Amino acid sequence: MNDYDGLLVDESLEKNIELFKEIFKKDELLRIRVVNVGESKTKIAFLFFDGMVEGSSIDDSLVRPCVTSKDTPRQVDIDYILARVLYAGELSKTKKVSDILRAMLNGDTAVFLDGSFDALTVDTKGWRTRGIDEPSDERVLQGPREGFDEAAILNLAMIRRKLQTPDLCINSTTLGRRTKTAVYFVYLDSVANKKCLEEIKKRMEKIDIDGILDSNYIAELVRDNKTSLFKTTGSTERPDIVAARLLEGRIAVVVDGTPVVLTVPYLFSENFQSDEDYYLNFYIASIGRALRYICFFLSISIPAIFIALSTFHIQLLPTPFMLTVSELRSGVPFSSITECLALILVFEILKETGLRTPQSLGSALSIVGGLVVGQTAVEARIMSAPMLIVVSLAAVAGLMIPRLKGAVFYLRIILAIASAILGLYGFMIVFAVFVISVLSMKSVGVEYMLSLKSPNFQALKDTVIRAPWTKMRLRPPFNRNLVRNRSKK
C-alpha cells in the first residue's frame, strides 16, 4: 500500500472504479455494486471483498437506504450520504486511496459517490470464526471454559468483559510490510508497569518483517535472550489468565489472526503455575505446585545422575543395588550414554507422534511404543531395564511441566553427556552454568528469577506454593510499588 500513499480519490466515479479494478485485477473476490441515490441520478458505488463482509449488512445498511432514500436533493454530496442516508454504525471519510485499501483489506466497504473528491469506509466486517471454545492445550477441571478466537476484536471484547473498568487501555499498531497485521497493547493504566510498556513498544517498533501470522513471530523478535532455552514472554489462549495478569501490572499483546495472546514480563516461576491452581483449594494447589518443581529437577537430572553413579561413582551405590544393575546390564552391547540418548529420542518420537496422530490412534500408539517395544528391547538385551526405567521416569516427570518442554529435553541430554564424561563433577558444572544463566536472564528489563530470589514468605507466596487469597496482598515484585493485589496471583 506504500505505492499508493500519495494517490487521492478522483471526482469521477468511473475513474475510481477503474483504479480499484486495476489494483485488484488478479483478485476475483472484489465485488462492485453501483446504484442511484434515491430519485436523483447521482450514482454511488460500493466496493468490498466477498467473504470478508457481512452480506446482510451490505444490503440493509448501505444499498437499501441509498435506493429507498426519499426527498433527495438534485445535488447529493458525500456529507449528505454520511449524515442522512447510511445506517452503518462506524463510518469515516477519507481522500487517500491507501486508507481505503487498508480498510477494504480489513473487511470494510468503500463507498464512492460520483462527483465527490471524498470516499467513505464503512465497518462491515463479517468473516466466519471458530467461536468460543475451551483451548485444547489449557483444559481445566474447574474454572471458565472459554478461549480466544482468531479475530482480535472478539478477543479484546472478551478481555473487556472480564475487566469492566475504564482503566483498561487498548493501543494499536500494525506490523508486517505486506500483511499489515493489527497488534494491540492491552493494560490497566493505573496498575501496569510503564517501563515494561515502553520497552515492549520500543522493541516492536524495530520489527521489520514481511508478515506477522502468529504471535510467536513477535515473541521471537522481541525476546531478551535470543539463544536461551527458556521463553521470556508468556502465552495463553484463556481470557481469564490474561485478565489476571493485567491485574498484576503486566501488558498483554493481542495479535489479529491468532488465538494466542502474549503477556510480559514473564518470570521463571510462571512456568510452574497451572491455570486451575487458582480455582482449587490452596492446599491442593500448593501440593501440585511443589510437585512441578520436583518433577522439573527429576526430569533433567535422573538420567544424568544414574549415568554418573553407574559409570564413575559406583561405590556410592548400595551393594545390592549395584549388583542388580551390573547383572541387568550384562550382555547389553551399548554404553550407558548411548542407551540413554537413544531412549530419550525414542520417547520424544513417541510423544510427538502421539500428538500428531488421530485421537483414536493415540492410545494404541502409546501402548505399542511404551510397553511392547520397550519390553521387547529389554528381553532382547538391546536395552537394559534400569536405564529404561530411569528414562521413562524422567519422561513422565517432564509431562508435569509442559511450558518447559523444549528446555527440559535439551537440559536432559546436555546433563547426561556431561555426566558421561566427568561423572558427578560434570553434572554439577553444567547445572551451575544453567543456574547462573537463568539468574542473568531478563524479560523486558525485569529479572527472570525475581520472584525466587527473595527468601521471605511474601515473595514466595505464589511461587513454590499458592498462599490463601487473604495473604496475597501485594503485587508481584516487579510491580511492588503499587500495593493491594486482588488478582489471580
pLDDT in tens, 428-476: 999 999 999 888 888 888 888 887 776 666 667 778 888 888 777 777 7
Is the Cα torsion angle 388, 393, 395, 396 positive or negative in sign?
positive
Residue 386, pLDDT above cutoff 70: yes
Alpha-carbon distance of 111 to 325, in angstroms, equals 80
Q: Return the residue matching grid coordinates 478461549.
A: 147
Q: What angle do CA 86, 87, 88 make, to 5 degrees?
A: 100
For residue 185, CA distances in Å to 172, 235, 307, 386 come to 6, 14, 48, 51
User: So what's the pLDDT on residue 487?
Assistant: 42
More confident residue, 430 or 53: 430
pLDDT tens for 168-207 read 898 889 898 888 888 999 999 888 888 888 889 999 989 9
Yes or no: say if 413 and 406 are a contact pair by the CB < 8 Å rule: no
Residue 404, pLDDT above cutoff 70: yes
Q: Where are the alpha helices (DSSP H) in 423-484?
A: 424-439, 450-453, 457-460
User: So what's the pLDDT on residue 112?
Assistant: 92
Write down the pTM of the prediction.
0.78
> What backbone phi and psi angles, to 5 degrees, belong to 379?
-65, -30
User: So what's the pLDDT on residue 486?
Assistant: 41
How far the first Cα of the chain sits from its last, in Å, is 44
For residue 30, CA distances in Å to 27, 121, 216, 238, 453 come to 6, 15, 31, 36, 58
Rg (CA), the chain: 30
Residue 307, pLDDT above cutoff 50: yes
User: So what's the pLDDT on residue 365?
Assistant: 62
Burial of 267 (0-12, 13-18, 19+ CB in 10 A): buried
Dihedral, CA of residue 11, residue 12, residue 16 and residue 21, to nearest 10: -170
More confident residue, 88 or 161: 161
Q: What would the grid cell of residue 211 be?
A: 508478515
For residue 15, CA distances in Å to 29, 81, 130, 392 come to 20, 20, 39, 71
User: To the nearest whole number, what is the mean pLDDT of the chain?
Assistant: 83
Alpha-carbon distance of 152 to 174, in angstroms, equals 13
Please, which pLDDT band fits residue 361 given cuts at 50, 70 and 90?
Answer: low
